[in-house]
Each structure stands twice: as structure tokens, then as C-alpha cells.
Amino acid sequence: MPFVSASFSPATTPRQHIGAGILLGLAASLTFATSGTFARPLLEAGWTPGAAVLWRTSIAAAILLPPGLVIFRHRLRQVFAEWPMFVAFGVLAVATAQGMYFAAVSRMSVSVALLLEYLAPVALVALAWVRQRRAPARLVLLGAGLSVVGLLCVLDLTGARLDPLGVLFGFGAMTGAAAYFLISARPSQLPAFALPVFGLPIGALALGILVASGLMPYAAPLVPVELMGASVPWWVPLAVVVLAATVAAYVLGVAGVALMGERLASFVSLSEVLFAALIAAVVLGELPSGIQIFGGILIVAGAVAIRLSTGEAPAGLPTLPDRVEAVHPHAETTATTLDVTEASAARAPEEPVVPPRT
């Protein structure tokens, strides 16, 4: 995995930074979207969602941490100085987003749970509104509205049931997803690659505590599974989920957010549901309906509207909704690593969303 610190030349413009961030965000959404299709065989073989997410997070952490320690061996003082950021990323962006999501799925429709989690982009717009005490630009509000309507079209909510506690868990997952974008966009002296390197192990530890305490059900039978019409070892789909949907996705995702900022990246991340539908169509033969295609167009239009409105404004996801994608194929970094400090400096002064202070 190559390590590239973003040292942009003076000729590189902020607009180019945003364009590169969008490409990284789309790549992250594509890799995240492989999760559901390849996690489904494990779930059908008896794996619980908690087991699947614990395995993927733990193995991904084991893959990223050793090269990360080598890369940052001369910057460990900075790493320790920023430990609150890594703890927040692991606990909120990884463990909370996934744990709350699966708790919501256990009590109500997977589509409703996914919809609540993917309200994170709208929550970021609302947060900017409250913090700055002025309404966002009309194009931002229009883009947010188009994206929400598009998400409703992509997700089939027919016969959906609501549960008060399940809704609360869903909003908890949304909070974790929003934290992913906010923390990834936070100015730092370390490259964006440091977040998944040191954040995923903390997330895995938090998930392990949930499993050990019995709060998250665990079952992981190591038996052959069915994938694309063939019987394969259980580790084959798990390898795809770990390497593509976790390692590559997180590294690409945090790098993209560092360039775009949290708000634009959060709306770009909605493309994940489109990629998930396309992957399910290719691998599983599950073709999207006309209304779902229309919803995808609305999601793209919403992201474009926000991009046009804010220029350099912020908004990939990462949330890890294995269960949703496995049951409903519309959901859910390698890598180039980018210096968050330089990327943050590249934003326009009028950037409406200010990263949280620590």
C-alpha cells in the first residue's frame, strides 16, 4: 500500500483539490458498496451482523496498523498528541455507527434503519445552520431535499414498521456517520491515513467489548458458503469485505473527506447506495427498478447542487451497513493518503461548515 503525503504544488488550485476529493469519495463509495453483496453469503450461513462487523474491523485494523506504525515511527509524538481524535473516530465513526445501526435493524425495517443513518448529510447542513445562525444557501437546501427524496426512492419502504427504540438507535447510527465526516475533515498535523490506522483498532476494541458483554449477538460458523452460484470457503467473501469494503474504503474515504470537507463528502457518499444496487445487479442479478433509478438521479442532482452552491464546500461514508446491504441491496482506503492540514488550508474562506474544535 503506497503512502503519499499530499504536498500540493503552488500550481495546484483548490478546485483541483475538490475534484480529486470527489473522485476519492466516489471510489470509497464503490468499495464500501461491495460489502453487502459479499457479506450476504456469510449472513445466510449463520453469521450474525455483529460477528461480521467485528471480524472485518479487527482484521482491517491488523492489516493497517503494522505499516502505519512503520510510516509514523518518527511522528509518534504527534500521534500521541492527537489520541482524542483517534478515540473519537474509533468509538463514534466505527463502533457507534455500526453498533447503533445493527441495533436499529434488530427492531425495525432495514430500509428505515438505513434511511435514518443516511440522514447524516442533512444533519451536517442543520448543524452548520445552528452553529452559524444563518440559513444555508438555497442551492444547499435544494440539494439536501433532492438527496433525501432520491434516497426514499432508492430504498423500498413499502410495509416498513417503526419502533420508538429502533428509531432512537437509527439516529444514533446517523450521529456516528456524521462524526465520521466531521472527524475526517478536522485539521491535523498528520496525514488522513492516520485515522483508519489508529482509529480502526480502537473501533474493533469497542465492538469486542459489545460482543463480550452480550450487547451485540455473536455467531460465526466457519463453514463453506454460496457465492455467485459456487461453494467457496468462508474466508473468500470475508476477504473482499475486509480488503475492499474496509481497508481500501476507509483509507480512500478519509482522504476524500480531507479534500472535500464533511458536508460535500457526506452527500457524495450517498452514491454508495447506487453502487450497491449496480454491484448487486451484476453479481446477484438483482436489477434496480425504474423508481430506484430515478432516485439515483435525484441523489446525484442533489450532490451537484451542493457542489455548485458551496464551490469548495464539504461533504464518503462509511458506515458499514452489512446487514442492510445483505438483506436490501441498496446500501453500504491502497491508498493515497492526504495531509489534512494542507487540504483544510485549500478550502475557500467562505466554507460554511467549520470543523469541530478539540
**265-292 pLDDT tens trace:** 777 877 777 787 777 777 766 666 777 7
Q: Is 33 in contact with 332 (CB distance < 8 Å)?
A: yes
Estimate to the nearest angstrom the gap between the alpha carbon of 274 and the chain centroid: 14
Tens digits of per-residue pLDDT, 139-162? Answer: 888 888 887 888 777 666 665 566
* Residue 261, C-beta contacts closer than 8 angstroms, at least 6 positions apart: 185, 312, 313, 314, 315, 347, 351, 353
| Higher-pLDDT residue of 30, 285 | 30
**Count of CB atoms situated within 10 Å of the CB of 105:** 25
Q: Is 314 in contact with 50 (CB distance < 8 Å)?
A: no
pLDDT of 307:
67
DSSP 215: S
Where does the pLDDT of residue 22 fall: very low under 50, low under 70, confident under 90, or very high at 90 and above? confident
| Higher-pLDDT residue of 35, 340 | 35
Residue 200 has pLDDT above 80, yes or no: yes
| Across 114-134, average pLDDT | 78
Residue 343 has pLDDT above 60, yes or no: no
Q: Is 181 in contact with 314 (CB distance < 8 Å)?
A: yes
| Higher-pLDDT residue of 321, 189 | 189
pLDDT of 160:
57
Which of 220-224, 268-272, 333-337 has maximum average pLDDT? 220-224
Cα–Cα distance for residue pair 323/106, rounded to 1 Å: 10
Whole-prediction pTM: 0.71
| Higher-pLDDT residue of 281, 342 | 281
Tell me the β-bridge partners of 226. Answer: 231
Residue 99 has pLDDT above 60, yes or no: yes
Q: Both ends of the chain: CA-CA distance in Å? A: 30
Q: Which helix (H) or strand (E) holds 70?
A: helix 49-71
Q: What sections of 133-234 are H helices per DSSP?
A: 138-154, 164-184, 194-212
pLDDT of 331:
38
* Residue 255, C-beta contacts closer than 8 angstroms, at least 6 positions apart: 21, 24, 192, 193, 333, 335, 336, 337, 338
Q: Is 43 in contact with 237 (CB distance < 8 Å)?
A: no
Cα–Cα distance for residue pair 326/308, rounded to 1 Å: 34
Cα–Cα distance for residue pair 169/175, rounded to 1 Å: 10
* Residue 286, C-beta contacts closer than 8 angstroms, at least 6 positions apart: 277, 280, 329
- Residue whose cell numbers read 440539494: 143
